[in-house]
């Protein structure tokens, strides 16, 4: 008998991608196999994100489109999970307007999926499974990893910071760190299986370990992971500037496997706006962290997140952001137009910035940043860099793509057999976003 097929569409961040890897493991344990073709699937899951309105609207659009598939195949099971499902209003909308959805479960119920499926198949009625508290013991489900050469490891869940624009603390709950022994065990297993790169995930990895019975620092965890033989690269994200310690900066310079890349979300260059965002650092503190990072790791690449048009942002505030961007000279950034999220205190703030003003500032910001990226990338022409090959290029099957230790995207001639290997590449052409080159012998 042929196996039933599942299809997962993941929205949002790496945490969600990693959750989808866990869900894959559970579904394969329940005798499903993956398919890339949605129309072939017997089980379709949307793993949702609610950080931005845009992502939420896409989920509703997608659910609307799935109705036709369900009409054609009433046996099809449609499920929705992820951060959006942690909010009552999204769940109600789905239950009222998208009655063809069969299963709704939250970020803390992933491990219950076998029972949820059982309940659904027993009763044939919509199942709703939402918990508020994460049970760490239950959350140790293995994963089916998307790649064979790089892997995510969760080191903490949730967030206690309550930035005024952000829904994550409401959706993912309080910050909890995983025991270091479990993380080290998982890393050793990945090393034995031949993985080349691990990425440690948490909403705020810099505060890792503070909630443990025997607290340890993130830098100490990195030291333990650096000592494991096998893989050659360690990355992590995300980091909060207020918790970036001198010990971590030292570790960045001292530990050979930690990649020379730091994603340090600044969000705004204005102290007034940072205060309204409840970010708990100043631009001066941030710039000092950047100075120390560059002193310790001179070739470090810095990337960031910036929100344009936070409530009350004036032209002067925005100039402060532009000024900070010019001082730091980021290698790349995620830039966003502020979007009010229900339940956050920023959504209720006065002086919401008009859309046209936001868009104009956004354009000026990205123009400034793209010029900087290009200038910085031009400095790399002639350099030879180590690339971990990820995939065939989307547009040309004779070219491959991968990432440097500094997380720059590189394209160069090659073939499928090189996926997952480390290659030395001499850079000869660049754009604002990519490096191009040719393979050289190491
Ligand atoms: S640190 Fe702030 S932005 Fe990041 S997840 Fe926590 S509340 Fe959201």
Note the pLDDT tens digit of each residue in 379-421.
Answer: 999 999 999 999 998 778 899 999 999 999 999 999 999 999 9
- Ligand 1 nearest-atom number relative to CA 267: 3
Q: Atom 8 (ligand 1): residue with closest C-alpha?
A: 166
Burial zone of 21 (CB within 10 Å; 0-12 exposed, 13-18 middle, 19+ buried): buried
Rounded Cα distance, 374 and 243, in Å: 31
CB of 79 closer than 8 Å to CB of 105: yes
Per CATH, the number for 4-129 is 3.40.50.2300
Does residue 282 register a pLDDT over 80?
Answer: yes
Question: What per-residue confidence (pLDDT) applies to 143?
Answer: 80
pLDDT class of 108 with cuts at 50, 70, 90: confident
List CB contacts of 143: < 8 A, sequence separation 6 or more: 18, 21, 22, 24, 25
Q: Residue 275 C-alpha to ligand 1 middle, in angstroms?
A: 14
Rounded Cα distance, 341 and 373, in Å: 31
Report the relative pairing of strands 422-430 and 434-440 from DSSP bridges.
antiparallel
pLDDT digits (tens, 9 = 90+) for 397-406: 899 999 999 9
Ligand 1 pocket, CB under 6 A: 159, 161-163, 166, 168-169, 203-204, 240
- Buried-exposed string 22-56: b where 16+ CB fall within 10 A, e elsewhere: bbbbbbeeeebeebeeeeebbbbbbbbbbbbeebb
Question: What per-residue confidence (pLDDT) applies to 200?
Answer: 97
Q: Residue 157 C-alpha to ligand 1 middle, in angstroms?
A: 12
- Ligand 1 nearest-atom number relative to CA 278: 2
Question: What per-residue confidence (pLDDT) applies to 310?
Answer: 97
Q: Residue 160 C-alpha to ligand 1 middle, in angstroms?
A: 8
Question: What per-residue confidence (pLDDT) applies to 100?
Answer: 94
Rounded Cα distance, 84 and 93, in Å: 11
Reported residue count of the chain is 442
Does residue 62 register a pLDDT over 60?
Answer: yes
- Ligand 1 nearest-atom number relative to CA 166: 8
Rounded Cα distance, 433 and 442, in Å: 25
CB of 118 closer than 8 Å to CB of 184: no
Rounded Cα distance, 403 and 396, in Å: 17
CB of 66 closer than 8 Å to CB of 44: yes
Question: What per-residue confidence (pLDDT) applies to 325?
Answer: 98
- Ligand 1 nearest-atom number relative to CA 172: 5
Greatest mean pLDDT range, 19-23, 80-84, 208-212, 324-328: 324-328
Q: Atom 4 (ligand 1): residue with closest C-alpha?
A: 203
Question: What per-residue confidence (pLDDT) applies to 137?
Answer: 55
For the chain, the structural domain boundaries read 4-129, 384-440
CATH superfamily of 384-440: Nucleic acid-binding proteins (2.40.50.140)
- Ligand 1 nearest-atom number relative to CA 167: 8
Question: What per-residue confidence (pLDDT) applies to 342?
Answer: 84
Q: Residue 12 C-alpha to ligand 1 middle, in angstroms?
A: 14
- Closest by CA to 79, choosing from 111, 49, 39, 120, is 120
pTM for this predicted structure: 0.85
- Of all helices (H) and strands (E), which one includes residue 79? strand 77-82
pLDDT digits (tens, 9 = 90+) for 350-373: 999 999 999 999 999 999 999 999
Question: What per-residue confidence (pLDDT) applies to 130?
Answer: 84
Q: Atom 2 (ligand 1): residue with closest C-alpha?
A: 163
List CB contacts of 291: < 8 A, sequence separation 6 or more: none
Q: Residue 203 C-alpha to ligand 1 middle, in angstroms?
A: 7
pLDDT digits (tens, 9 = 90+) for 132-181: 766 655 566 678 888 899 999 999 999 999 999 998 888 888 899 999 99
Rounded Cα distance, 176 and 208, in Å: 8
């Amino acid at each position: 008998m042929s196996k039933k097929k599942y299809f997962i569409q993941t929205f949002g961040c790496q945490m969600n991608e990693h959750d989808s890897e866990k869900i894959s493991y559970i579904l394969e344990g329940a005798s499903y196999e993956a398919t890339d073709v949605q129309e072939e699937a017997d089980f379709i899951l949307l793993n949702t994100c609610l950080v931005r309105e845009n992502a939420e609207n896409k989920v509703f659009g997608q659910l609307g489109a799935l109705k036709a598939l369900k009409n054609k195949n009433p046996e099809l099971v449609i499920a929705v999970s992820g951060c959006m499902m942690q909010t009552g209003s999204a769940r109600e909308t789905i239950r009222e307007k998208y009655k063809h959805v069969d299963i709704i479960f939250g970020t803390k119920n992933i491990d219950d999926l076998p029972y949820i499926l059982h309940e659904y198949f027993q009763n044939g009625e919509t199942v709703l499974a939402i918990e508020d508290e994460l049970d760490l013991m239950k959350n140790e489900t293995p994963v089916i990893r998307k790649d064979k050469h790089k892997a995510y490891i969760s080191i903490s869940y949730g967030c206690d910071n309550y930035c005024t624009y952000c829904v994550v603390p409401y959706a993912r709950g309080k910050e909890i760190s995983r025991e270091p022994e479990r993380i080290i065990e998982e890393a050793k297993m990945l090393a034995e299986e031949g993985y080349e790169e691990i990425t440690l995930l948490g909403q705020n990895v810099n505060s890792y370990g503070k909630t443990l019975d025997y607290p340890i620092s993130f830098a100490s965890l990195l030291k333990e992971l650096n000592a494991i033989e096998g893989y050659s690269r360690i990355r992590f994200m995300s980091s909060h500037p207020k918790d970036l310690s001198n010990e971590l900066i030292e570790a960045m310079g001292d530990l050979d496997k930690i990649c020379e890349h730091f994603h340090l979300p600044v969000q705004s260059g204005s102290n007034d706006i940072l205060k309204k965002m409840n970010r708990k650092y100043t631009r001066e503190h941030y710039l000092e962290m950047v100075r120390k990072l560059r002193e310790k790791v001179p070739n470090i690449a810095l990337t960031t997140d910036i929100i344009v048009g936070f409530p009350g942002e004036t032209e002067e505030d925005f100039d402060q952001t532009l000024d900070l961007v010019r001082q730091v000279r980021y290698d790349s950034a995620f830039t966003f137009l502020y979007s009010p999220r229900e339940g956050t205190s920023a959504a209720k703030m006065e002086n919401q910035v008009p859309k046209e003003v936001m868009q104009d500032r956004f354009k000026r910001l990205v123009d400034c940043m793209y010029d900087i990226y290009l200038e910085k990338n031009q400095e790399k022409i002639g350099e030879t860099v180590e690339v971990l090959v990820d995939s065939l290029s989307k547009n040309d099957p004779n070219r491959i793509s991968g990432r440097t230790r500094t997380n720059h995207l590189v394209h160069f001639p090659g073939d499928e057999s090189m996926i997952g290997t480390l290659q030395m590449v001499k850079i000869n052409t660049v754009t604002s976003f990519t490096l191009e080159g040719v393979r050289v012998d190491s």
